[in-house]
Amino acid sequence: MLAFVLRRVMQSVVVLFVMSLIVFSMINLVGDPVDMLVNPESLPEEIDRVRRDFGLDQPVHVQYWKFLMGALSGDLGNSFIFGRPALALMAERFPATLELATSALVISVTVGLPLGVYAGLRPDGWGTRIIMGGSVLGISIPTFWLGLMMIIVFSVVLGWLPVSGRGETSRFLGIESSAFTLDGLRHLVLPATNLALFKIAMVIRLARAGTVEVMALDFIRFARAKGLAPRRIVLAHLMPNILIPIVTVLGIEFGTLIAFATVTESIFAWPGLGKLVIDAIVNLDRPIVVAYLLFVVTLFLVLNLVVDIMYALLDPRVRLQGDET
């Protein structure tokens, strides 16, 4: 096991290095940050000053070397726009995105799982047709449009929920989150639901497929024959068996929720990572873009590793490569 983890960590470092090289050289091909930063009314020497201060006058390979040396000591450079360390800026925005992604995950499981199991138990029921139809909609409607519709219905017409922003936050168990205040929760509902819709649809489909498959297996028939209550069959025998694939997929999906909440964050003016990155891309804030992409790569590497380890722990039949050596 230890050998497996070590080998995976080594691989991850190589992947990160290659990614940083690709990202860094690609982003240096696009435009010139100086054009986006320096006010056109400035004196000509101002442009040279900014280029010098930000190290843009150096050849790309020198810039990359500096970046790499900095990265090894935990410094991914300063944002051109904000003049502050890229990592600090991201750390500032991360809690908002994390709370949005976590809420979306919770919503998608609590809503998607029961609906999916129901659809699997009654494959021909009317309810199932509605649920499955809804899940097709959930997968195919663009998040952007749906977000605006939710704002119009729930905020403008009905006036139940605030349109945008994060609302009041408070601290609980050392975590600052808007999920701990009523005002914060009201702000959280719409964006979290918006972000969750696609995942709800996915969980429904996974749960339904799993249920149909497992319900046909011998041990369920045996349980029925033994006269167990249907509730007990579902909760004690069905659930644990369909949960393994769902947990696996959701583990990775949690990464996409964090990394690609950008659209939802933009519509709802949620002060998270996504908004920071969009602004950085538009304004060619290279250090932020590079730091963000490396963060996303790291996130997926870690999630993959965790999922693999969990797999081995949950299911002894899964053999990890490292064990064979």
Partner 1 sequence: MRKFIFGPKALLTAAVAGLGFLAGPVSASDLTVALAAEPTSMDPHYQNLTINNSMATQVYDALVLQDVNQNLVPGLAASWEPIDERTWEFTLRPGVTFHNGAAFTAEDVIATMQRAANVPNSPSSFATFIKGKTFDVVDDLTLRISTEKPYPFTPNDMSRISIIDSAFVDATTEDFNIGAASYGTGPFTFTKWLPGDVIELSRNDGYWGTAVDWDNVVIRPIGDGTTRAAALIAGDVDFIERVAPADLPTLESRDGLSVFKSVSNRLLYMTLHMTDDPIKPYVTDHEGNPIASPFRDVRAREAVSLAINRQAIADRVMDGLSAPAGQFSPEGYIGYSANLEPDAHDPERARELLAEAGYGDGFKLTIHGPAGRYSNDTRILEAIAQMLSRIGIDTDVETMPASVFFKRFSRGGPGDTPEFTVAMSGYANGSGEPSHPLRIFIHTKQKERGYGPGNRNGYSNPEVDRLIEDGRSSMDIAMGEMAFIQATDIAMREYALVPIHHEIATWAARDGISYEHGALDSTFIHKIRPQE
In the complex, the residues that contact partner 1 under the rule CB under 8 A are: 30-33, 35-44, 46, 49-50, 53-54, 78, 80-84, 89, 92-93, 96, 148, 151-152, 155-156, 159, 162-166, 266-269, 271-272, 275-276, 282-284
Q: Is 217 helix (H, G, I), strand (E, B) or coil?
A: coil
Name the residue nearer to partner 1 (CB basis): 251 or 271.
271
Most distant CA pair in the chain, distance: 87
User: C-beta of 72: minimal distance to partner 1 in Å?
Assistant: 22
User: C-beta of 71: minimal distance to partner 1 in Å?
Assistant: 19
Name the residue nearer to partner 1 (CB basis): 83 or 174.
83
Find the helix or strand (DSSP H, E) in which 177 lies: strand 175-177
User: C-beta of 314: minimal distance to partner 1 in Å?
Assistant: 39
User: C-beta of 158: minimal distance to partner 1 in Å?
Assistant: 9
Q: What are phi and psi of 170, to 5 degrees?
A: -145, 170
Name the residue nearer to partner 1 (CB basis): 15 or 263.
263
Q: Which residues contact 190 (CB under 8 A, 6 or more apart)?
A: 147, 150, 151, 154, 155, 161, 162, 268
Asked whether 314 and 244 are in contact (CB, 8 A), the reply is yes
Name the residue nearer to partner 1 (CB basis): 48 or 323.
48
Name the residue nearer to partner 1 (CB basis): 79 or 128.
79
Find the helix or strand (DSSP H, E) in which 157 lies: none
Residue with tokens 């081995």: 312
User: C-beta of 101: minimal distance to partner 1 in Å?
Assistant: 16
Q: Which residues contact 136 (CB under 8 A, 6 or more apart)?
A: 201
